[in-house]
Amino acid sequence: MRQFKTESKKLLDLMINSIYTNKEIFLRELISNASDAVDKLNFKSLTNSDIKLDSNDLAIRISFDKDARTLTVSDNGIGMTAEDLERNLGTIAHSGSEEFKQENAESQGGDVDIIGQFGVGFYSAFMVASKVRVVSRAFGEQTAHVWESDGLEGYTIEDGERAEHGTDVILTIRENTKGENGEAGENYDTYLTEWGLRDLITRYSNYVRYPIQMMVSKSRELPRPEDAGDDYQPQYEDYQELETINSMTPIWKKRSSDVEQSDYNEFYKSTFHDWDDPARTISFHAEGSLEYDALLFIPGRAPFDLYSKDYQKGLSLYSSNVMIMEKCADLLPDYYNFVRGVVDSADISLNISRETLQQDRQLRAIASRVEKKITSELKAMRDDDRETYEAFFENFGRGLKFGIYSSYGMKASELADLLLFWSARENKMVTLAEYAATMPEGQKAIYYAAGDDRERLSKMPVVKGVLDRGYDVLLCTMDVDEFTFQAMRTYHACGLSKVYEDEVAREAAAKAVADGAEPEVEDRDIEFKNVATGDLDLATEDEKKDAEEATREHGDLFEAMKEALGDKVEKVAVSARLTDAPACITTEGPLSLEMEKVLARGPE
């Protein structure tokens, strides 16, 4: 028995028991090694014309024997010599694959996708196996060798037999354990079932570029005998068939011009478990210091659990076609939590367990690009397919508003133009830009009213008062609306017709337009104003003066009213904001009655 080279039993123990949070990734690691071995041989044949190889034969095969409790991962790749076995499997943290990448860095083109890097993945097998036996025959050699270990002290290497070049990794799977102290036990048996293995292969290794095959049980109907009578019942027989389990070609690596939308839709529905087609598909390839492919989908409607606590946002993160994280939350801002998709990069630096990334900087760079893409896609949707966009907004608008509110308005510059509100004047949803564009000269603010019910809001005297002056009012019925406006404070409107304070300049401009010049435009920050709070400043000086006078005149009456109402009101006065309604209730200060109601209700 040879002792493991590098360091002690402790290191091995650490490898096996501490670096992975998830035992099931062992299969991903072994399949990745098999894929690397096949890739290396393929590469060799491409660069050396003496090697005759049919690349269609290259494959990875998974098989299991329930009774013997063995699971085997085989490949017909480059194989290992006795020396390779010693160096690669006898030394923890030695990666033959990383060496291969380095050695061939120059000649290696887009045709190789080596996954290995740290030289520890192989040992993850001991998380589920009490013994691992590796039978390998190096390409071009006549003899095979057998490496065997229980993952504790050391390993043995002996001569062995294998018909062809390649490697079999044979795991003796551990027995199930019983749970202790209320915790569930470990279920290893699942690695000896067809569906358990199929699940792991499709989840982690679905896009490995070589076929991963497994014998699977099927059933078929037997031909109906000629003398079968009317009461004949169809007969079935079970049989076994070799099936390629993985789908291989990662659709996100194809150029979008080569992919039909229906294929994207199929991929979306099967991968993200939706019955409906996505509303939008975004696919792009980023070049530069960090190369990656991204394929993103905007769903047509909200996933059923979107607003539940259990909902996890995130994009699937792949590196060299192998899944690293199923939901990488850092790739999406909260307000785009409904977006589904995949990011794949061979360049990202993974941590040793290949479960997360090592560098936040890389993630942040990808995330910021992803966010920009989503924003511009949503804007395109708003402009060229308004109906779908309104349906989208119905589903996800609350999240966008919340994004502005929870960033204290910092995100307003990006998100404000994605918002829609109900216009009391137009009787439909409008964007803030549309609202601003139809403001008559002299209108200084964007007016809104907030409450539970649109119908009721539109009948509020203060709303009518503003509408009667020719100004539109946004009717807001979502709890987050008012907070959103408060966080934004202003809306930055572009291309509004210019307002001239100075009479001479105004006349000069009017003359220029009459002479055929384009009217001048300007960008302006417009304040939001709740029609129900504070002073709207709509009344003219005269109207205000009249109101003040009337208040004074009827001082006694208002005093009496105030007394009768007691604590319920702060003051009673004549208002210049009403047009045809006799009276209204308003608040002073920044909070409207409606918002006070929301606050009083407390967090939901």
Window of 4-12, 95-103, 145-153, 540-548 that interacts with ligand ADP by CB under 6 A: 95-103
The rounded distance, in Å, linking the Cα atoms of 429 and 427 is: 7
**Annotated binding site: which residue ranges?**
29, 33, 75, 80, 88, 95-96, 117-122, 167, 354
The rounded distance, in Å, linking the Cα atoms of 296 and 268 is: 9
Nearest CA among 416, 440, 433, 435 for reference residue 424: 435
Using the minimum distance from each CB to ligand ADP, give the nearer residue, 151 or 465: 151
Count residues near Mg ion (CB under 5 A): 3
Q: Phi, psi at residue 574, to the nearest 5°?
A: -80, 135
Long-range residue pairs from 138-145, CB within 8 A, at least 24 positions apart, any chain: 138/78, 138/79, 138/80, 138/81, 138/84, 138/165, 139/41, 139/44, 139/77, 139/78, 139/79, 139/165, 140/165, 141/79, 141/81, 141/165, 145/80, 145/81, 145/82, 145/85
Residue 128-167 contact track with ligand ADP, rule CB under 6 A, x = bound: ---------------------------------------x
Q: Cβ–Cβ contacts within 10 Å for residue 601, how many? A: 9
> Closest separation between CB of residue 384 and Mg ion, Å?
46
Using the minimum distance from each CB to ligand ADP, give the nearer residue, 37 or 460: 37
Does 90 bind ligand ADP (CB under 6 A)? Our answer is no
Residue from the set 12, 41, 120, 475 that interacts with ligand ADP by CB under 6 A? 120
Angle (nearest 5°) at CA 90 between 102 and 100: 15
> Closest separation between CB of residue 256 and Mg ion, Å?
31
Residue 118 contact partner, candidates Mg ion, ligand ADP, none, CB within 5 to 8 A by sort of partner: ligand ADP
Window of 2-10, 88-96, 215-223, 424-432 that interacts with ligand ADP by CB under 6 A: 88-96
| Contact yes or no for 342/352 (Cβ under 8 A) | no
**Annotated binding site for ATP: which residue ranges?**
29, 33, 75, 80, 88, 95-96, 117-122, 167, 354
* DSSP run (H or E) holding 195: helix 194-204
Residue from the set 12, 26, 64, 75 that interacts with ligand ADP by CB under 6 A? 75
Residues numbered 80-139 forming contacts with Mg ion, rule: CB under 5 A:
116, 121
571-596 burial by CB neighbour count: b if 16+ within 10 A, else e? ebbebbbbeeeeebebbeeebbebbe
Does 117 bind ligand ADP (CB under 6 A)? Our answer is yes
Does 33 bind ligand ADP (CB under 6 A)? Our answer is yes
Q: For residue 259, how many C-alpha atoms fall within 13 Å in the half-sphere facing its CB?
A: 20
Residue 96 contact partner, candidates Mg ion, ligand ADP, none, CB within 5 to 8 A by sort of partner: ligand ADP
Residue from the set 4, 15, 26, 29 that interacts with ligand ADP by CB under 6 A? 29
Does 33 bind Mg ion (CB under 5 A)? Our answer is yes
DSSP per-residue codes, 354-414: SSSBS-HHHHHHHHHHHHHHHHHHHHHHHHH-HHHHHHHHHHHHHHHHHHHHHTTTTTHHH
| Contact yes or no for 301/332 (Cβ under 8 A) | no
Residue 598 contact partner, candidates ligand ADP, Mg ion, none, CB within 5 to 8 A by sort of partner: none
Residues numbered 163-182 forming contacts with ligand ADP, rule: CB under 6 A:
167
Using the minimum distance from each CB to ligand ADP, give the nearer residue, 89 or 475: 89
SS3 of 595, please? Answer: helix
DSSP 8-state code for residue 350? B
Does 77 bind Mg ion (CB under 5 A)? Our answer is no
Nearest CA among 274, 317, 320 for reference residue 297: 274
Nearest CA among 455, 347, 453, 339 for reference residue 400: 339
> Closest separation between CB of residue 33 and Mg ion, Å?
4
Does 210 bind ligand ADP (CB under 6 A)? Our answer is no
Residue from the set 44, 62, 69, 95 that interacts with ligand ADP by CB under 6 A? 95
Using the minimum distance from each CB to Mg ion, give the nearer residue, 116 or 399: 116
Query: CA torsion angle for 476, 482, 483, 485 (degrees, to 10)?
Result: 100
Using the minimum distance from each CB to ligand ADP, give the nearer residue, 17 or 497: 17
**Structure tokens belonging to residue 546:** 């009249």
Using the minimum distance from each CB to ligand ADP, give the nearer residue, 169 or 591: 169
Question: Starting at the edge strand that comes first in sequence, how are the strands of the sheet with 129-137 ordered?
Answer: 2-3, 154-160, 144-149, 129-137, 166-173, 70-75, 60-65, 212-221, 236-244
Nearest CA among 206, 33, 41 for reference residue 118: 33
DSSP per-residue codes, 447-507: EEEE-S-HHHHHT-HHHHHHHHTT--EEEE-STTHHHHHHHH-EEEEEEEEPPPSSHHHHH
Count residues near ligand ADP (CB under 6 A): 22
Residue from the set 41, 58, 121, 204 that interacts with ligand ADP by CB under 6 A? 121
Does 88 bind ligand ADP (CB under 6 A)? Our answer is yes
Residue 88 contact partner, candidates Mg ion, ligand ADP, none, CB within 5 to 8 A by sort of partner: ligand ADP
> Closest separation between CB of residue 61 and Mg ion, Å?
18
Residue from the set 118, 272, 500, 558 that interacts with ligand ADP by CB under 6 A? 118
The rounded distance, in Å, linking the Cα atoms of 329 and 367 is: 10
SS3 of 517, please? Answer: coil
Using the minimum distance from each CB to ligand ADP, give the nearer residue, 61 or 340: 61
Residue 120 contact partner, candidates Mg ion, ligand ADP, none, CB within 5 to 8 A by sort of partner: ligand ADP
First to last CA, the chain: 64
Residue from the set 42, 71, 119, 201 that interacts with ligand ADP by CB under 6 A? 119
> Closest separation between CB of residue 195 and ligand ADP, Å?
25
| Contact yes or no for 80/88 (Cβ under 8 A) | yes
Does 35 bind Mg ion (CB under 5 A)? Our answer is no
> Closest separation between CB of residue 109 and ligand ADP, Å?
20
Residue 419-458 contact track with ligand ADP, rule CB under 6 A, x = bound: ----------------------------------------
List all residues 6 or more positions away from 470 whose beta carbon is below 8 Å from its beta carbon: 440, 443
Residue from the set 28, 41, 64, 97 that interacts with ligand ADP by CB under 6 A? 97
Write out the residues near ligand ADP by the rule CB under 6 A.
29, 33-34, 37, 75, 77-78, 80, 88-89, 95-98, 116-122, 167
Which residues are near Mg ion by CB under 5 A?
Answer: 33, 116, 121
